[in-house]
Amino acid sequence: MGHSPSSLSKSGPSSPPRRSRSFSPMAPPQQLLLTAPLQVAAGGQRQRLVLLAARAPGLVELHLEKLQVGDRGLAALSACANLEVLFLVKTPECTDSGIISVAEKCHKLRKLHVDGWRTNRIGDFGLMAVARGCPDLQELVLIGVNPTVLSLRMLGEHCRLLERLALCGCETVGDAEIICLAERWAALKKLCIKGCPVSDRGMEALNGGCPSLVKVKLKRCRGVSYECIENLKVTRGESFSISLDVVLEHDAGSTSENGAQENGQTQITELAGQMTGMDLLTNAAGTQSSIHTINRMRSVMSAIRRRFGNPLPP
């Protein structure tokens, strides 16, 4: 069911969201979900955020999705100094300037999710402001946003509690950026990389970096080999989990507005899922040899190619 421009969802810390048509000045919501169609005028959405900031200054969580909310709206939102969780999903009018406004006043921010929709309006400048202004940040999800070493280094140095990072469809995230994570992000525990141009060279830096890292998930990273994955698993030990999901180029779905959409071919998805779910070499499974693991993976790849009419080259 779609949401109208005035659709509001409020909930307490443990209660499920419920819809409401108005704000209650007597009982400011702790969590708020605000969504509206993209065609709604940007000025109207900005005024709603001004009203929200004035009537609910104690707001701690806000999701903005498919709204024409620009930098002025985010500047108004920055009056909510207690904000801890902010989701910006498909808000194409937002730029670095709006992110800077939030970062300069919302110092309690713990979770930040930004779907840049590949507009290239949010990047290093906004993220560096987050690094300076939000030292308690623990979770960062970037979709269709293009950070570089400049902002990632600052985030690692200033946000010492940052333990969860997802990078999806980030065209500027390559080996240099992964090496930066390995060198600067000491608290990082979980890392997801999807559709980024990384290779074995960058991933190998994780052998000796990110001492707290326990889980890595890779998808559509064609420059990373299974040999590299195995080496990481062996080096980091049995407490470390890593998976690599490779989608064949001729079967890959078109890139969606959020940076990663499957092509709808269920059978390929299932086979790829089998490959992702395979147990790689671990210290606890000493009976499984490296060669046997590689052979199993090659068998699945061969099955995919045979199934969909693309035989292996001689």
CATH code for the domain of 245: 3.80.10.10
Higher pLDDT, 96 or 56: 96
- Asked if 303 and 293 touch (Cβ cutoff 8 Å), the reply is no
Q: What is the pLDDT of residue 299?
A: 52
To which H or E segment does residue 116 belong? none
Range of the domain at 94: 30-307
- Residue 297 counted as domain residue: yes
- Residue 226 counted as domain residue: yes
Q: What is the pLDDT of residue 30?
A: 56
**Side chain identity, residue 42:** A
- Residue 313 counted as domain residue: no
Phi, psi of 20 (to 5 degrees): -145, 155
Cβ burial of 244 (10 Å; 0-12, 13-18, 19+) is buried
Higher pLDDT, 29 or 173: 173
- Residue 208 counted as domain residue: yes
Q: Is 144 left (phi over 0), alpha (psi -120 to 50) or beta?
A: left
Average pLDDT score over residue span 88-92: 89
- pLDDT tens digits, one per residue of 143-162: 999 999 999 999 999 999 99
Q: What is the pLDDT of residue 143?
A: 95
The rounded Cα 248 to chain-centroid distance in angstroms is: 23
pTM score, whole prediction: 0.70
Q: What is the pLDDT of residue 3?
A: 43
Q: What is the pLDDT of residue 66?
A: 85
- Residue 232 counted as domain residue: yes
Q: What is the pLDDT of residue 43?
A: 52
Higher pLDDT, 172 or 14: 172
> How many domains are there within the chain?
1
- Residue 217 counted as domain residue: yes
Average pLDDT score over residue span 222-238: 94
Mean pLDDT of the residues in the chain: 75
Q: What is the pLDDT of residue 141?
A: 97
Average pLDDT score over residue span 66-87: 90
pLDDT at 307 over 70: no
Q: What is the pLDDT of residue 33?
A: 56
Higher pLDDT, 310 or 27: 310
- Residue 17 counted as domain residue: no
Average pLDDT score over residue span 112-127: 92
- pLDDT tens digits, one per residue of 240-250: 999 999 765 54
Q: What is the pLDDT of residue 130?
A: 98
The rounded Cα 97 to chain-centroid distance in angstroms is: 21
Q: What is the 3-state secondary structure (H, E, C) of 75-104?
A: HHHCCCCCCCEEEEECCCCCCHHHHHHHHH
Q: What is the pLDDT of residue 107?
A: 97
- Residue 96 counted as domain residue: yes
pLDDT tier at 183 (50, 70, 90 boundaries)? very high
pLDDT at 186 over 70: yes
- Asked if 162 and 186 touch (Cβ cutoff 8 Å), the reply is no
